[in-house]
A and B are shown apart, each in its own frame.
Chain A
Amino acid sequence: MARTTTPARRTGGFPYLLVLPAVLLFAAFVVAPGGYALLLSFQRRKVNGGLLGGGTHTVFAGLANYRDVLGDSDLWSGVLRMLALGAVTVPATVFFALLFAVLLDLERTRLKRITRLTIFLPYAVPGVIASLMWGFLYLPATSPIGGDRVDFFGQVAVYFSVGNVAVWGAVGFNMIVIYTALRALPAELSESARLDGASERQIVLRVKVPMVMPAVVMCTLFTVLAALQVFNEPNTLKPLSNAVSSTWVPLMKIYDDAFGNSDIYSAAATSVVLTAAALAVSFATARIIQSRVQQEAA
């Protein structure tokens, strides 16, 4: 397929016109807020002393906000909780997505259409609404699943309870992504393995799953990115239980700084730190994935 793109001289400024809205939006809602947060993170509010009365003014604070933020044990406990939660949600989401996708792809499985659709549906349910539904299922007073006997908000259980909501919402979408990749595999692959005497299980594990690895890693990347930014589920469960504090995960801490304590400077510094960390993790994951995929292709 020969693909020759049109030289710029013949089309004038039209391509620039086409990309202009995206570039403007990117500048206004990604670059500018990022820059402004960076600027704020180096400032802080100081109370005017003496003659002028009780006003405040903004002063340059250097790295003081970062020192405070990074020395704040609340943030670090939040980071640890986020990691514990991610250790539940990422493997569970990817595992069940892959499992269901593989099962859907088996020839002799029945009820495919209805189960595929049902497992996919939670994708269209907002995290907040999902947390409300599960929250009432966990709540001792209303729970139909034994919330009066099991403490779903117990010290360890709470990670599974919060994680469960996230997994519930994410499995279906990832399942579809992997299932699509499975359907795109040439039928001859499984066929020749079958003729060589491979069992159905061997075909799945040795042929199909390795072939759809790129889709699986893409799902892993999106799940990791979501885990770093977790907010909706714990924030919605907070009013239902004391187990979730207002600084339970880093993003809740940022929100609490900005709106609970009206300390936008700390909130900005924490935002910068979290954004940088999330970017670093997602770039590193993408890099690892890329080299894996290339290795496998070689």
Chain B
Amino acid sequence: MTAMAGTSAPPRDRSAPVPAARRPRRIAVLPTTALVLGALYCVVPTLWILVAATKSRTKLFSTDTYTPSLDLGIVHNIRDLSAYQGGIFWHWMLNSFFYAAAGGLLASFVSAATGYALAKYEFRGRSALFNTILAGVLLPQIVLAVPQYLLLSKAGLTDSLVGVLLPQLFNPYGIYLCKIYAQSAVPDSLLEAGRIDGAGEGRLFVSVGLRLMGPGLVTVFLLQFIAIWNNFLLPYVMLTSDDKFPLTVGLYSMLRHGAAEASLYSLVITGTLLSVLPVIALFLSLQRFWRIDLVTGALK
């Protein structure tokens, strides 16, 4: 950035004590190359799917795989996809967003309340609860999907919002993170002052606790949003009506039909592309709020 980095060192510059002039800031070629290769590896499937989505169904299997088709194949593909079973693809997209957003919000609230209680109150069973939650982090959650299905089908609650949303609201890792945030971000003195002023415990939780835990809660929300967005097995076992499917289950069911009917492949590819783009956009736009350093519970 500046040639005189040595004098007014920005906090990011770790080599502040060493005068910049003595160690010329050459580019580390090998490390940079390795990172660029890693980034390419990560972006190649998405780029290829972008190219493949421009091709009509006949061209998908016949033309050179790297060349995009410029004859508006993608417009046809999107139109065909939107027409597929009365536009059910857009239904799946909305479902995915709804499950992830609603589940993420509710789960963050549950985690915040539990974490705050664990950090800020002394009550009977507190350490037992905390130990259970720590053990819960190690729980194989995905394996539980089939037992959850078996139980909920007994109660007649499968193929419902309850079946697909409620099992994802208990998030031991989120609770653990919230406890750490509450411990470091909510000062006891502030709560005490509030009590002296006559504020009730509920009010303190909402207007002091939740507010101060804010940045951490955004992180817990995004982690849970992505976890639900990415989830497959639970909705796959719980849901039978295809208008309730999230994208993952919907596209998978299309792929299975595609095995018998190859023309569906180009629709699956288009659907895959359309399902990746909005999350990437969401991600890039939320980057500012996404405090990834809070994921490890590391707070200064």
Closest to B106 in A: A21
Closest to A254 in B: B146
Interface of chain B residues 90 through 125 with chain A (CB within 8 A): 110-111, 113-114, 116-124
Name A180's contact: one of B113, B140, B298 (CB within 8 Å).
Answer: B298
Q: Are B113 and A122 neighbours in the complex by a CB distance under 8 Å?
A: no
Task: Flag whether A196 is at the interface (Cβ < 8 A).
Answer: no
Name A18's contact: one of B17, B52, B117, B124 (CB within 8 Å).
Answer: B117
B residues within 8 A CB of A110?
27-28, 32
Name A30's contact: one of B32, B45, B139, B149 (CB within 8 Å).
Answer: B139
Nearest CB on A from B148, distance (A): 5
Instruction: Report if A5-B15 is in contact (Cβ < 8 Å); known contacts: A11-B201, A18-B205, A36-B151.
Output: no
Q: Bound complex: CA of A267 vs CA of B147, how far in Å? A: 9
A residues within 8 A CB of B293?
180, 183-184
* Chain A CB within 10 A, most for which of B61, B147, B230: B147
Task: Flag whether A98 is at the interface (Cβ < 8 A).
Answer: no
Task: Flag whether A166 is at the interface (Cβ < 8 A).
Answer: no
Task: Flag whether B14 is at the interface (Cβ < 8 A).
Answer: yes
Closest to B126 in A: A15
Q: Are A115 and B113 neighbours in the complex by a CB distance under 8 Å?
A: no
Interface of chain B residues 228 through 271 with chain A (CB within 8 A): 229-233, 237, 247-249, 251-252, 255-256, 258-259, 265, 268-269
Instruction: Report if A176-B295 is in contact (Cβ < 8 Å); known contacts: A19-B113, A129-B247.
Output: yes
Q: Are A282 and B140 neighbours in the complex by a CB distance under 8 Å?
A: yes
Nearest CB on A from B242, distance (A): 15
Q: Are A126 and B247 neighbours in the complex by a CB distance under 8 Å?
A: yes
Interface of chain B residues 35 through 76 with chain A (CB within 8 A): 35-36, 38-39, 41-46, 48-49, 52, 60-61, 65-66
Closest to A96 in B: B38
**Residues of B contacting A: mostly:** helix
Task: Flag whether A127 is at the interface (Cβ < 8 A).
Answer: yes
Q: Bound complex: CA of A25 vs CA of B118, how far in Å? A: 17
Q: How large is the interface on A (under 10, 10 to 19, 20 to 34, 35 or more residues)?
A: 35 or more
Nearest CB on B from A115, distance (A): 4
Task: Flag whether A60 is at the interface (Cβ < 8 A).
Answer: no
Q: Are A168 and B140 neighbours in the complex by a CB distance under 8 Å?
A: no
Looking at the complex, which of A47-55, A63-71, A223-231 is the stretch in contact with chain B? A223-231
B residues within 8 A CB of A114?
39
Name A21's contact: one of B110, B136, B231, B256 (CB within 8 Å).
Answer: B110
Task: Flag whether B213 is at the interface (Cβ < 8 A).
Answer: no
Q: Bound complex: CA of A231 vs CA of B236, how far in Å? A: 12
Task: Flag whether A42 is at the interface (Cβ < 8 A).
Answer: no
Q: Bound complex: CA of A11 vs CA of B17, how far in Å? A: 52
Instruction: Report if A231-B151 is in contact (Cβ < 8 Å); known contacts: A30-B144, A129-B248, A168-B42.
Output: no
Name B122's contact: one of A5, A30, A232 (CB within 8 Å).
Answer: A5
Instruction: Report if A5-B121 is in contact (Cβ < 8 Å); known contacts: A28-B166, A34-B144, A258-B146.
Output: yes
Closest to A133 in B: B45
Q: What is the interface size of chain B, counting residues whose CB is below 8 A from a CB of the partner?
A: 107
B residues within 8 A CB of A30?
136, 139, 144, 170
A interface, CB within 8 angstroms of B? 2-8, 11-12, 14-16, 18-19, 21-23, 25-26, 28-30, 32-34, 36-37, 40, 96, 99-100, 103-104, 106-112, 114-115, 117-130, 132-134, 136-137, 141-144, 168, 171-172, 176-177, 180-181, 183-184, 187, 190-191, 194, 215, 218, 221, 225, 228-229, 231-232, 235-236, 239-240, 251, 254-255, 258-259, 264, 267-268, 271, 274-275, 278-279, 282-283, 286
B interface, CB within 8 angstroms of A? 14-18, 25-28, 31-32, 34-36, 38-39, 41-46, 48-49, 52, 60-61, 65-66, 110-111, 113-114, 116-124, 126, 129, 132-133, 135-136, 138-144, 146-151, 154, 166-167, 169-170, 175, 183, 188, 191, 201-202, 205, 226, 229-233, 237, 247-249, 251-252, 255-256, 258-259, 265, 268-269, 272, 275-276, 279-280, 282-284, 287, 292-293, 295-296, 298, 300
| 25 A-B contact pairs sorted by A residue (CB < 8 Å) | A6-B121, A11-B123, A21-B110, A21-B113, A30-B139, A33-B150, A106-B31, A108-B28, A109-B28, A110-B27, A115-B38, A126-B248, A128-B248, A132-B268, A132-B272, A136-B48, A144-B65, A171-B38, A176-B295, A177-B296, A180-B292, A191-B14, A231-B233, A271-B143, A274-B143
